[in-house]
Amino acid sequence: MARFTRVFGVRKLPVQKMRGLRVRLTLSFVLFFSILMVAIGLFYRKTLEYDMEADMRAALEEEWGAAKGYLRIENQQPIWVADRTDPEENFIVARLRHIDLVADANGEVLEVSDTYRSIGIDSRDEIRRILSLSEPSEIHKRWDSEGVAYLIKAGRTLDDKGRPYFFAIGRSLESVQSTVHDFTRLYFAVLPGLIILSGGLGWLLAGRAIRPVNDVAQAAQAITGSNLSLQIPLRGAGDELDHLIDSFNRMTARLDESFEQTRRFSTDVSHELRTPLTAIRGQLEVGLLTAQTPEQYREAMLNALEDVEKLSSIVRALLLLSQAESGQLVLQKTPLDLAAMAEDVADQFQIPAEEKHVALSTEVRSGALISGDHTQIERLLSNLLSNAIKYTPAGGTVRVRVDLADSSGWARLAVEDTGVGIPAENLPRIFDRFYRVRSADTSVVPGLGLGLSFVAWIVQVHGGRIEVASTPGEGTRFTVLLPLAESAGDPAAREREPALHLEDGELPLST
């Protein structure tokens, strides 16, 4: 079921809606911060592990060199030669033998420490593989049953007769593992606290960022249909928000102007309708109260009918204009020869021009083929021509010209007269509905002030441009540019700005 509620007065925005943005900003900040902190933690953990392991590898390499110095193999027996009186040397050898394995070339174990046994003794195949390597040694990693990691350096050593033996020593990575583990535990224990803190910070920052938006929203709420001229003050920060405020202010200014136009229009319509209505009423009263003979009745009726005719012509024109401007008037565009049409319409105006003693001439060049609606283009021509003749006193001239504009892709129509002209301050409003210049020269000229509104609409729906140049007391020139038919679907052909350009020395005009 369709519903419509009209709300009067200023409606406050729901508070929850405004919070929503702040919450979303905070959550995004927290999410970003959490992902960043977890990534940093994992990266640091990996780096720590890698660095500590690299140190272990370097130490193991050193020990391997020392071990080879202390180990002799004689008669298939490994002998560790160390000065028994030197406690330091004894300590080193004991450390080396803590994780070690000595085996012969067949994989027969000659010596193995308990710790090494817990990691697992190398298989015979593995021993043969190591002995056959071109590099005398390699380092690899192994784990015992409890998950403790060890670095093992295995390689080749020779006995007193120069026969190869398998020899390996190792180092526990337990300290590395426990350091990394401690770091991870500590880091991820602190992280939730940091995230909560970041949430608080995010909430504060989002609040600060949004406050000006709320201020602007409040200022905007104060603007209603009746005070559209109110502007939201710019903050002077020159940021996106100022840009938004500026756009908003421009929008309300445009709305204000269009409201003003509508208001003016309503006043003008009532005024325009009231004049013939009053006249009709007057005629009817005459008929009813004072007329005595059938002739007098008849005259009153005829006068009333004339005014009814005027009334209905206003209503017809208004209806047509509103249909046109709301897009209800369907245009039927066909290829039209603007030059031929201008000649035709000018022919129709020859008699009224002669009656007014105005010389009407045409000067057209062929090739101005446009795509347009025949009825509307004819209306455009006759409105411009009727104005030119209407507002030119006896003895004046009206000239219609059609040619191609300097910029390619445009046909140009110019209607020039040597009439009363239009004062500069009235120029911007002559295309408004019902607008007429009020002056001693024109007040006696009949008209509704709707002709140029039609002209403007017709030019607009044909994708053209219109310009007016006028000097009061000297004359007026209307110039219309319309896209040529072959370039109607190809805007690139009219890429250059069309020049609504006026040649010198013909009429001393000012825009």
Residues interacting with ligand ATP, by CB under 6 A? Answer: 383, 387-388, 391, 417, 419-422, 430, 435-437, 442, 447-453, 476
User: CB neighbours of 96 closer than 8 A, spacing ≥ 6?
Assistant: 63, 66, 67, 70, 80, 169
Among 198, 371, 387, 479, binds Mg ion (CB under 5 A): 387
Q: Alpha-carbon torsion 242, 243, 245, 250, what sign? A: positive
- Give the C-alpha separation, 168 to 334, whole Å: 97
Beta carbon nearer to ligand ATP, 170 or 421: 421
Q: What is the dihedral of CA 456, 458, 462, 468, to 10 degrees?
A: -30
Cα separation values, 102 from 106, 148, 168, Å: 12, 22, 7
Question: If contact means CB under 5 to 8 A according to the sort of partner, which of ligand ATP, Mg ion, none does residue 419 touch?
Answer: ligand ATP
Beta carbon nearer to ligand ATP, 266 or 313: 313
Question: If contact means CB under 5 to 8 A according to the sort of partner, which of Mg ion, ligand ATP, none does residue 494 touch?
Answer: none
Beta carbon nearer to Mg ion, 245 or 398: 398
Beta carbon nearer to Mg ion, 193 or 446: 446
Would you state the structure tokens that stand for residue 406, as one six-digit string? 């300097």
451 binds Mg ion (CB under 5 A): yes
Strands 359-364 and 397-404, bridge-based pairing: parallel
Q: Which stretch binds Mg ion (CB under 5 A): 235-243, 259-267, 269-277, 384-392?
A: 384-392
CB of 290: closest distance to ligand ATP in angstroms? 33
Beta carbon nearer to Mg ion, 130 or 455: 455
Q: Which stretch binds Mg ion (CB under 5 A): 23-31, 213-221, 379-387, 497-505?
A: 379-387
Beta carbon nearer to ligand ATP, 371 or 476: 476
Q: By Cβ distance, which residue is nearest to ligand ATP?
A: 451
Question: If contact means CB under 5 to 8 A according to the sort of partner, which of Mg ion, ligand ATP, none does residue 417 touch?
Answer: ligand ATP
CB of 430: closest distance to ligand ATP in angstroms? 4
Q: Alpha-carbon torsion 32, 33, 39, 43, what sign? A: positive
Residue (of 163, 155, 178, 184) closest to 67 by Cα position: 155
Q: Are 284 and 304 in contact (CB under 8 A)?
A: yes
- Rounded to 5, what percent of the chain is helix, strand, coil? 55, 20, 30
Would you state the structure tokens that stand for residue 133, as one six-digit string? 């390597």
Cα separation values, 204 from 29, 77, 213, 261, 292, Å: 11, 76, 15, 46, 90
Q: What is the dihedral of CA 413, 416, 422, 425, to 10 degrees?
A: 40
Question: If contact means CB under 5 to 8 A according to the sort of partner, which of ligand ATP, Mg ion, none does residue 437 touch?
Answer: ligand ATP
Q: Are 175 and 59 in contact (CB under 8 A)?
A: no
- Give the C-alpha separation, 386 to 475, whole Å: 15
371 binds Mg ion (CB under 5 A): no
Question: If contact means CB under 5 to 8 A according to the sort of partner, which of Mg ion, ligand ATP, none does residue 449 touch?
Answer: ligand ATP
CB of 288: closest distance to ligand ATP in angstroms? 32
- Give the C-alpha separation, 450 to 467, whole Å: 17
Beta carbon nearer to ligand ATP, 239 or 363: 363
Question: If contact means CB under 5 to 8 A according to the sort of partner, which of ligand ATP, Mg ion, none does residue 252 touch?
Answer: none
Q: By Cβ distance, which residue is nearest to Mg ion?
A: 451
Residues that contact Mg ion, how many (by CB under 5 A): 2
CB of 455: closest distance to ligand ATP in angstroms? 7
CB of 439: closest distance to ligand ATP in angstroms? 8
CB of 388: closest distance to ligand ATP in angstroms? 5
CB of 507: closest distance to ligand ATP in angstroms? 12
CB of 342: closest distance to ligand ATP in angstroms? 16
CB of 399: closest distance to ligand ATP in angstroms? 12
Question: If contact means CB under 5 to 8 A according to the sort of partner, which of Mg ion, ligand ATP, none does residue 395 touch?
Answer: none
Instruction: Count helices and strands (H / E) in the chain.
Output: 10, 14
Beta carbon nearer to ligand ATP, 101 or 437: 437
Would you state the structure tokens that stand for residue 112, as one six-digit string? 């193995």
- Give the C-alpha separation, 432 to 268, whole Å: 11
Beta carbon nearer to ligand ATP, 401 or 436: 436
Element holding 150 (H helix, E strand): strand 149-158
Beta carbon nearer to ligand ATP, 252 or 418: 418
Beta carbon nearer to Mg ion, 198 or 387: 387
CB of 358: closest distance to ligand ATP in angstroms? 11
CB of 307: closest distance to Mg ion in angstroms? 20
Residue (of 236, 238, 230, 235) closest to 214 by Cα position: 235
Would you state the structure tokens that stand for residue 483, as one six-digit string? 């896209």
Q: Contact residues for Mg ion (CB under 5 A)?
A: 387, 451
